[in-house]
A and B are shown apart, each in its own frame.
Chain A
């Protein structure tokens, strides 16, 4: 089996392919007879000057009520089965807390480590133009272990935002006063976009953050970095 870039994007991909097949089939079922009738029954001088009358056909009408009903109920049921997987994080998932604000993201890891990404951390400060994700300063990147399921608990500090993980093809709104959830797993190391998908004001279109997916060992090392000292200083303060 070829390696999938990200979960649960594979389910979306399958759903997309099923729908595309059904949609193209229905399109042809409508378009071909439509085009044929338009050509065959066009008005010509001396031929087909008068229409013939066909009021209705019970059989046809029942047919195009029942078959579409079956097709759409099948699609909804298929989606139901997939959606359950897309919404249920595996038991082993690592939990991170994502808090959205105008305009940026806070990522909090299980050991308390936090990463902040702001609307101006993904742009070139001189031109205000978007950088490509690998050019963004590592300081602003949320590190994610490759091949590990991650469950995101999302909320917002001010207005509605939406957390969309580009390679995993999942999103969920971040609602102030509520905690929403989604999960994903990215299998190949690299830099990936996440975007805000709910309109939130001036810098909405720059409210992106970069996920830096790294091998597990590197992630463990990174997560501990900087935490040691702060824990010690906490002890000293106590």
Chain B
């Protein structure tokens, strides 16, 4: 390798950060914004848990509670669960396919600055007078009501995020399909890239439905149209159909990349290829396609005809099959491996464990005979906090730790990463498992206050304690990552000995990634760990 030294890209000046079109810098910008909003949403969650500690209203009124819940929902979904993948995708995708940047670098910068504009609007809704209190779903006719707050903010935020997501999705799909270095075939591509391809296709197909729904909402509220207002001939269920047509598939936008991260890390630390790679790819696309055929399960009690509920109950439970295939394949990737228990490996093993519980509790929610009692109860809240809350967050933190040496050129503290994980797992399971139980006992969702039923009070107390432990765990993990950029040990270019392309460039990667576009030989494969050993011996 030529011994040209570059200024580390993260020491760039403010001007460079603002005008950059480098996919790595944009990835970092996404990541930092996303993490800041994750912490805001997390703090609002802790405020919510404090309020639920005892029945009655101790710390905030109903309106403040409803606003905190809306903030928590919107920020966690759009700024964390969706946007954090824009960070991973932007940073890693060009590196993994051997490209120097994405296909449309300026378009890429535009999509981040759309996202930034949405972030500013979201912060503005925190000012007094701008509070939105309609939950992240924003169902009309309530959202047409004064009580909901300035809905125009929400609509504009969704539009900016939608424009940003569409731009990013088109960019990454084109990059992935047209800019792969010679030798990286679709079949040989990392599973991470397959997951991102499917996820971006879902975005392109789904975002217009949500954009249409919120536009109609805006027109109903401010221009007196009557799409959703039943007093003038509209139908509130139309909104729900459009909303969930996007917002169900979006859960796969959130979780498929997490599956991709899990596949990368589990293969690397088992030192062997992914078990059943073809079925893994088919399962990703199976989930993506089936994901568009199940949205009515969000409306099982909303007044749609019973026969539609039955049809959608079959499609919903069938999603369990490709998801199950993925879990079984991961378990059998461990088989005859040589397993290293590093921090990223432990994070993603925890993610699989949490996803398993979340998945198994998702199946009954697809059965109308079961759902009829727990729809809109704390059971469903616990379910999606297992899958999207914990499985996703653990996969993200697994990814943070795994690629940390690549991003920063330094190592995080292994000990603190593991301590944080232990706290996260104790706290989250204490919290969310009891949330299942209080949900089964009937506790309705989105309640600032609840009746003093003896068992509910005890369950809520323990949940709040769990949430505090979880909060401390997350804080420790984030602190470890921040402080290690300064105090961490210098990392090698390829500390995990992975043949995947992003590890074959220096850490942190130079601005142009590759001195010359790599030609990957026939026997190379991102999961062929023996190839790397041979390759290194040759040098």
The answer to whether A binds B is yes
Chain B residue contacts of A73, Cβ below 8 A: 314, 317-318
CA distance A113 to B43 in the complex (A): 48
Binds A, one of B200-208, B273-281, B397-405: B273-281
Does B306 interact with chain A (Cβ within 8 Å)?
A: yes
Chain B contacts with A in 220-239, Cβ cutoff 8 A? 230-231, 235-237
Partner pick for B275 among A54, A172, A203, CB 8 A cutoff: A54
CA distance A180 to B66 in the complex (A): 27
Partner pick for A38 among B65, B349, B440, CB 8 A cutoff: B349
Instruction: Find out whether the CB atom of B364 lies under 8 angstroms from the CB atom of A19.
Output: yes
Does A49 interact with chain B (Cβ within 8 Å)?
A: yes
Chain A contacts with B in 36-59, Cβ cutoff 8 A? 37-38, 41-43, 48-57
Does B320 interact with chain A (Cβ within 8 Å)?
A: yes
CA distance A41 to B334 in the complex (A): 7
Chain A contacts with B in 180-215, Cβ cutoff 8 A? 180, 193, 195-206, 208
Instruction: Find out whether the CB atom of B376 lies under 8 angstroms from the CB atom of A176.
Output: no
Instruction: Find out whether the CB atom of A159 lies under 8 angstroms from the CB atom of B367.
Output: no
| 11 additional A-B residue pairs with CB within 8 Å, beyond A23-B363, A31-B356, A43-B338 | A16-B364, A31-B353, A54-B335, A61-B325, A80-B310, A86-B372, A170-B372, A195-B442, A197-B377, A197-B444, A205-B447
Q: Which residue of A lies closest to B329 (CB)?
A: A61
Instruction: Find out whether the CB atom of A83 lies under 8 angstroms from the CB atom of B309.
Output: yes
Give the number of residues in B that approach A within 8 Å (Cβ atoms): 90
Contacts A171-B376, A197-B376, A204-B447; is A51 near B331 (CB within 8 Å)?
Answer: no
Contacts A54-B335, A72-B321; is A83 near B442 (CB within 8 Å)?
Answer: no
CA distance A157 to B301 in the complex (A): 18
Chain A residue contacts of B141, Cβ below 8 A: 158-160, 176
Chain B residues proximal to chain A, CB less than 8 Å:
55-57, 62-63, 65-66, 133-135, 137, 139-142, 145, 147-148, 230-231, 235-237, 270-273, 275-279, 301-303, 306, 309-310, 313-314, 317-318, 320-321, 324-325, 327-329, 331-332, 334-341, 349, 352-353, 356-357, 360-361, 363-364, 366-370, 372-373, 375-377, 440, 442, 444-452, 529
Chain A contact residues: helix, strand, loop or mixed: mixed
CA distance A205 to B64 in the complex (A): 13
Instruction: Find out whether the CB atom of A80 lies under 8 angstroms from the CB atom of B331.
Output: no
Q: Which residue of A lies closest to B322 (CB)?
A: A65
Instruction: Find out whether the CB atom of A41 lies under 8 angstroms from the CB atom of B332.
Output: no
Query: Which 5 A-B pairs have CB atoms at the shortest separation, nearest pair first?
Result: A177-B230, A169-B373, A79-B367, A51-B272, A82-B369
Instruction: Find out whether the CB atom of A170 lies under 8 angstroms from the CB atom of B373.
Output: yes
Partner pick for B271 among A27, A50, A79, A170, CB 8 A cutoff: A50
Instruction: Find out whether the CB atom of B325 lies under 8 angstroms from the CB atom of A173.
Output: no
Instruction: Find out whether the CB atom of A176 lies under 8 angstroms from the CB atom of B236.
Output: yes
CA distance A126 to B184 in the complex (A): 71
**Could you mark each residue 1-42 of chain A with 1 if its beta carbon is under 8 Å from any beta carbon of chain B, else 0?**
000000001011001100100110011001101100110011
CA distance A11 to B373 in the complex (A): 11
In the assembled complex, the CB of A17 is this many whole angstroms from the nearest CB of chain B, namely 11
Instruction: Find out whether the CB atom of B147 lies under 8 angstroms from the CB atom of A175.
Output: no
Partner pick for A9 among B339, B373, B451, CB 8 A cutoff: B373
How many A-B pairs with Cβ below 8 Å?
A: 268
In the assembled complex, the CB of B382 is this many whole angstroms from the nearest CB of chain A, namely 14
In the assembled complex, the CB of A201 is this many whole angstroms from the nearest CB of chain B, namely 4
Binds B, one of A90-98, A104-112, A128-136: A128-136
Instruction: Find out whether the CB atom of A79 lies under 8 angstroms from the CB atom of B301.
Output: no
Instruction: Find out whether the CB atom of B334 lies under 8 angstroms from the CB atom of A34.
Output: yes
Does A227 interact with chain B (Cβ within 8 Å)?
A: no
Chain B residue contacts of A30, Cβ below 8 A: 327-328, 331, 356
Chain A residue contacts of B334, Cβ below 8 A: 34, 37-38, 41
Chain A residue contacts of B148, Cβ below 8 A: 201
CA distance A125 to B479 in the complex (A): 46
Instruction: Find out whether the CB atom of B368 lies under 8 angstroms from the CB atom of A79.
Output: yes
Chain B residue contacts of A139, Cβ below 8 A: none
Q: Can you list 30 A-B pairs, Cβ within 8 angstroms, ordered by A?
A: A31-B356, A34-B352, A37-B331, A51-B270, A51-B337, A53-B273, A55-B275, A65-B321, A68-B320, A79-B367, A80-B313, A80-B369, A102-B145, A129-B452, A159-B145, A160-B302, A164-B376, A171-B301, A171-B372, A173-B302, A176-B236, A197-B445, A199-B134, A200-B142, A202-B62, A202-B63, A202-B66, A204-B66, A205-B447, A206-B449
Chain B residue contacts of A38, Cβ below 8 A: 334, 339, 349
CA distance A175 to B236 in the complex (A): 8
Q: Which residue of A lies closest to B445 (CB)?
A: A197
Does A127 interact with chain B (Cβ within 8 Å)?
A: yes
CA distance A86 to B367 in the complex (A): 12
Instruction: Find out whether the CB atom of A75 lies under 8 angstroms from the CB atom of B367.
Output: yes
CA distance A68 to B273 in the complex (A): 25
Chain A residue contacts of B147, Cβ below 8 A: 102, 201-202
Instruction: Find out whether the CB atom of A171 lies under 8 angstroms from the CB atom of B373.
Output: yes
Instruction: Find out whether the CB atom of A56 lies under 8 angstroms from the CB atom of B446.
Output: no
In the assembled complex, the CB of A236 is this many whole angstroms from the nearest CB of chain B, namely 36
In the assembled complex, the CB of A67 is this many whole angstroms from the nearest CB of chain B, namely 9
Chain B residue contacts of A160, Cβ below 8 A: 139, 141-142, 236, 302
Partner pick for B338 among A50, A56, A79, CB 8 A cutoff: A50
Does A114 interact with chain B (Cβ within 8 Å)?
A: no
Instruction: Find out whether the CB atom of A83 lies under 8 angstroms from the CB atom of B372.
Output: yes
CA distance A171 to B147 in the complex (A): 25
Instruction: Find out whether the CB atom of B135 lies under 8 angstroms from the CB atom of A175.
Output: no
